Structure 1
């Protein structure tokens, strides 16, 4: 749903951020299912043409655009004469396999009007969870950029299983934005921005900028629509994920894509953290699979969340999992809260007898940190 939003006078910081977003030279644009399909549950060529027209105008000005496209399941429903989105995993995967063909064809057809080549990039959560696959995805996206190709990214619904999914393409877009080194993320759906409640409510208040989590305290965000899996809640979560990691976000409707990519004078912007975390820390915190758990005492919690300190064996009280050196593990405090993640330096069976011991008590060759500070990320620093 789109309604005319009325934004109060903008702060200098908001104006500067909108200018920064429109000046970005590498951006990710995520399009929701409802903006790509018609009421007949088929790909809408006219809708895709409008989106491509706006994207090509931005690309013609020198910006590389990566599109994260929802709509595989929604696009497959029409050709299969289905009126309701399937609820079982096999059904969704089968419909996505049909829809993906139609969706990729229409993106390619539309960009071909401008002589531009497209590429289909299908990812699963397990791809992001493994560092080698993540690096391969990064290299592929970068090579496509050098070739002048527009990547069309989607979750690989046909092989992803319920326990290993991004959950929605909003989170996928946030992950792609960081891993691809994007300077801005656009989240486009059927709502023109963020409101403090359902925008159909006449009393709903439009919110032009989100500076931090405090600005979201009174916001009530809804779930996905009839053909999609996301919703405003997932978009806010994805925007927060991207902005916490240094990527600014503009959230608005696909109908306003032209203004969004041109002037940035629409929708809601999310201010980013001032410093961008490394690709490794982002992967470890938000994408990597974990192979086990290190439980630590209160003193170790203070040490690792204080910044710049490695995790030593003396502060670890117990371990869980059959992890190996180089695996990513969760780090859990004495109250059971996950405080961060890190790359463990020892196999589980090697680490077990080291627990609680001072470094000086350990034999030579086992005195290095369990998790070095360079390979440790704590959630407290990303709040």
Structure 2
């Protein structure tokens, strides 16, 4: 067994994401039998000594059948209506299943704003930590009944990765209808006529060369592309990841012997730097000349006004903005020290040319995160 698998198997604090397809189907909605099997595996892991937080998809899927819908809705209002029905059923099902082991379940519904807003971020963290300290099982889901297209996480894979960092988890386990990361669609032959190959471990970006990841299925919003993005997000923040099939939940949670594992970077990002890079909403963008890109994004120097060629967005001091090069490629993110109007006055000017109240860097090196 690799060191990465051994680390996940021994993790004392884990986040487990359950995909919609593992819990629901279009005809009957929520499948309580499958949920019970998953809870059995989660309970076994908790009895082995691990703290477990569950990120559960399936609210919209659980509401489809009761409302008489024939497929996953595409318009926002019907999605929210299905979620309002499904969240109730889903929370009750998790609570009933864990009650077999005399476990109490707490439902935590989050929107993207709860992660991107620093104050809400801290509140969510305290709630999850307190539930764990009280030995309750936190079941987290995106609050689909109020989330709009503009304030969505995009999928629960990303939400799970953000929650894993939020609670400083030792590992993230993504369970869905796929049994790992393949070089392509395992149901189809590749360009060379050979079947796709399972990638057992990803140690870095080079291991993903040539990998083709697709979008989600009928019930979910994710797919391999979202799982891959979430795994890279979590591993980049110092959290190792296991991607496996929900049908293999027992093995995944017992000894991490199945699926694909993603090694974590050696050093976990600080909470602030992770927030800047992955969680905070961008309120604008600054275009940097080539010299500023080299100094700021590669050598981690503070961003001075002289290196900025354009500013876009109605941002305020303390907001996060994207840093882009002259081609428009994002090269980093940072917390801007001035309002947009002030930055507009500073663009391209040396520090000596600016009035005293505008002589600080536009973004200090401590508030910069390269892409």
**TM-score bucket of the superposed structures, by smaller chain:** over 0.9
Per the alignment, residue 263 of structure 2 pairs with 271
* 1:129 equivalenced with 2:111 (yes/no): no
1:271, CA displacement in angstroms? Answer: 1.3
Q: Tell me the equivalent position of 1:231.
A: 223
Between stretches 16-25 and 360-369, larger displacement belongs to 360-369
Q: 1:31 to 1:359 in 2, by over 3 A?
A: same
- Contact kept, 8 Å, 2:26 with 2:61, in 1: the verdict is no
**1:245–1:276 Cα contact (<8 Å) kept:** yes
Determine which of 166, 186, 195 is the counterpart of 1:179.
166
Quick one: distance in 1 between partners of 2:298 and 2:181? 34
* Contact 1:27 1:183 (C-alpha < 8 Å) held by counterparts: yes
Q: Counterpart in 1 of 2:83?
A: 96
Cα deviation 1:321-367 (Å, max 9, x = unaligned): 22211111111222222211111111222232222232233333332
Partner of 2:334: 342
Q: Quick one: distance in 2 between partners of 1:20 and 1:162?
A: 37
Measured after TM superposition, the shift of residue 201 of structure 1 is: 3.9
Checking the alignment, whether the CA contact within 8 Å between 2:172 and 2:241 is kept in structure 1 is yes
1:370 aligns with 2:366: no
1:242 alignment partner in structure 2: 234
Matches within 5 A, 1:27-176: 27-38=14-25, 40-176=27-163
In 2, Cα distance between equivalents of 1:20 and 1:113: 29
Distance across 2 between alignment mates of 1:205 and 1:306:
35
Output the TM-score relative to the length of structure 2: 0.94
Distance in 2 (CA, whole Å) between partners of 1:39 and 1:74 is: 7
For residues 365 and 15 of structure 1, the distance between their equivalents in structure 2, rounded to whole angstroms, comes to: 55
Q: Which residue of 2 aligns with 1:11?
A: none
Contact 2:26 2:219 in 1 (8 A): no
Equivalent-residue separation in structure 1 for 2:39 and 2:151 (angstroms): 31
Check whether the contact 1:329–1:343 (CA below 8 A) recurs between aligned residues.
yes
Aligned residue among 306, 312, 321 for 1:314: 306
In structure 1, the residue matched to 2:178 is 191
Who is 1:358 aligned against?
A: 350
Measured after TM superposition, the shift of residue 127 of structure 1 is: 2.2
Are the aligned partners of 2:116 and 2:275 in contact in 1 as well (CA < 8 Å)? yes
> Matched residues in 2 for 1:62 and 1:371: separation?
44
Q: Which ranges of 4 or more aligned residues in structure 1 deviate by more than 6 Å? A: none
Are 1:41 and 1:76, in contact at CA under 8 Å, matched by a contact in 2?
no
State the distance in 2 between where 1:220 and 1:328 align: 31
Distance in 2 of aligned mates of 1:324 and 1:201: 50
Name 1:5's counterpart in structure 2.
Answer: none
After superposition, the CA RMSD in angstroms is: 1.6
Measured against aligned partners, the alpha-carbon deviations of 1:213-254 in whole angstroms (never above 9, x if no partner) come to 222222222221221111122111211111122111100011
What's the CA shift string for 1:156-212, capped at 9, x where partnerless?
A: 111111122111111111111112211111010112112222223472322211122
Unaligned runs of 5+ in 1: 1-13
Separation in 1, partners of 2:206, 2:352: 45
Query: Which digits, 9 at most, give the CA deviation of each residue in 1:263-301, with x for residues without a partner?
Result: 111111111211211111211112211222222211111
Tell me which moved more, 271-280 or 360-369.
Answer: 360-369
Out of 254, 269, 275, the residue aligned to residue 283 of structure 1 is 275
CA distance, structure 2, for counterparts of residue 221 and residue 324 of structure 1: 37
Matched residue count: 366
Q: Distance in 2 between matches of 1:195 and 1:331?
A: 33
* SS of 2:147 mapped into structure 1: coil
1:206 maps to which residue? 198
* Aligned partner (choices 255, 277, 300) of residue 247 of structure 2: 255
Give the distance between the partners of 1:238 and 1:280, measured in 2 at CA: 19
Gaps of 5+ in 2: 190-194
